[in-house]
Structure 1
Amino acid sequence: MLKIFISNLKEYNNGKIIGEWVSLPCEGLEEVLNKISNNGNDELFISDYETDISNLKISEYDDILQLNEIAEEIDNLSDDELIAFQAYLEQYANNMEQALEEVRQGNYRIYYNCDNMEDVAYQAVNESGLLDGVPEQVKMYFDYEAYGRDMDINRTFIQIDNSFVELY
């Protein structure tokens, strides 16, 4: 969910708040922009926004039409892709285009239901079969906490809620 409040800059500077909340993506956005800007005669800016996408930041002077296109792409992301997108936003300091491109390329791996890197290490070891064939008496001495710490040092992980996203 992404909503922005689009304001008329000239009217704002004159002490009036002329604008409206718009949920993105919005099909009739150009008509809304024309209405608020007096048919393109006045400059517009984004005076507020609301979103449930963590790490997403909107600037006052972001290109509203481009933001609408990006919102449409975000709207079409799967749940996994949205988690990865949020991680890339944190990694790339809110560069939405770059984050979307990385998600499109599938350059991530999500570890679900993890509170810490020890949990991530446990999943990674079990899925990779790293300890397959090792006797149980030896497996119980494996240090998942240390392995997780090394994973965190050597790779890039971003925590989003109760998941860790590994970025490639």
Structure 2
Amino acid sequence: MKNLENAPKIYVGTYGQYNDGSLFGKWFDLSNYTDTKEFYKNCYEYHRNEFLPELMFQDWENIPDFLISEYSLHEDTFKYFETIDEMGEERAKAFEIYCSSIVSWPLNGNDLDETRQEFEDAYRGYFSGSMKGPELEFIYQYIEESGMLADAPKLLKRYFDYKSFAKDLFLDGYSQYEGHVFRD
């Protein structure tokens, strides 16, 4: 977890305290821990004044919702953060989108390493949409890189319908989320 400014944090209270009308708890910075076991141990130690405390994650910051709920933190959370630390900010955002919106990781039961490899195979890049939309920007690059129109006469190139081609390609084969393009 390189970026301490955007470090993942969880406000941990207990259901017992909450049911008694108290929000007593503490913010725990996940960058201070190496794994979920160490994190939970510290949370239980902090709430040691309560007999068999049921931890309640009342708030969190910089943690994707697919890794956390009110009562649990996914066991691969720290591995996920290590994985995105190896990526640039843009690619890390794309990986989060891929996990949450495309493959529903970790609910799909796949291993994180397998999910990352599938992401690397599927991700085509970020397109800001400076050409009237990310899909159209991607199509121009796709056609140029593939050489699809390289041998076509200039007259034919002038009449090629990029918008229609983009529409067809994104109906079957590609998807776009927040400017990030993925091959289905």
Which TM bucket (shorter chain)? Answer: 0.7 to 0.9
Verify: 1:132 aligned to 2:146, yes or no: no
- Within 5 Å, give how 1:39-118 maps onto structure 2: 41-51=52-62, 58-63=68-73, 66-88=76-98, 89-93=100-104, 95=106, 98=110, 100=112, 101-105=114-118, 106-108=120-122, 109-114=124-129, 115-118=133-136
Is the CA contact 1:111–1:123 (under 8 Å) kept in the aligned structure 2? Answer: no
Q: Which residue in the other structure is 2:182 paired with?
A: 166
Q: Which residue in the other structure is 2:32 paired with?
A: 26
The list of structure 1 runs, each at least 4 consecutive aligned residues, that deviate by more than 6 angstroms after superposition, is none
Q: Which residue in the other structure is 2:164 paired with?
A: 146
Which gives a bigger RCO, structure 1 or 2 (Cα 8 Å, sep 6+)? 1
Is the CA contact 1:46–1:62 (under 8 Å) kept in the aligned structure 2? Answer: yes
Segments of 5+ residues of structure 2 without an aligned counterpart are 1-5
Q: How many residues align?
A: 165
Look up the equivalent residue of 1:91 and give its one-letter code.
Answer: I
**Structure with the bigger percentage of strand:** 1
Look up the equivalent residue of 2:182 and give its one-letter code.
Answer: E
Indicate the RMSD between aligned Cα atoms, in angstroms.
Answer: 3.0
Look up the equivalent residue of 1:50 and give its one-letter code.
Answer: E
Q: Give me the whole-angstrom Cα distance separating, in 1, the residues matched to 2:166 and 2:181.
A: 13
Cα shift readout 1:112-146 (whole Å, capped 9, x = no counterpart): 33323222211111111101122222211111000
Cα shift readout 1:44-83 (whole Å, capped 9, x = no counterpart): 1211112286x75731122365434433333333335413
Q: Percent identity?
A: 25
Structure 1 length-normalised TM: 0.78
Greater alpha carbon shift after TM alignment, 85-94 vs 99-108: 99-108
Segments of 5+ residues of structure 1 without an aligned counterpart are none
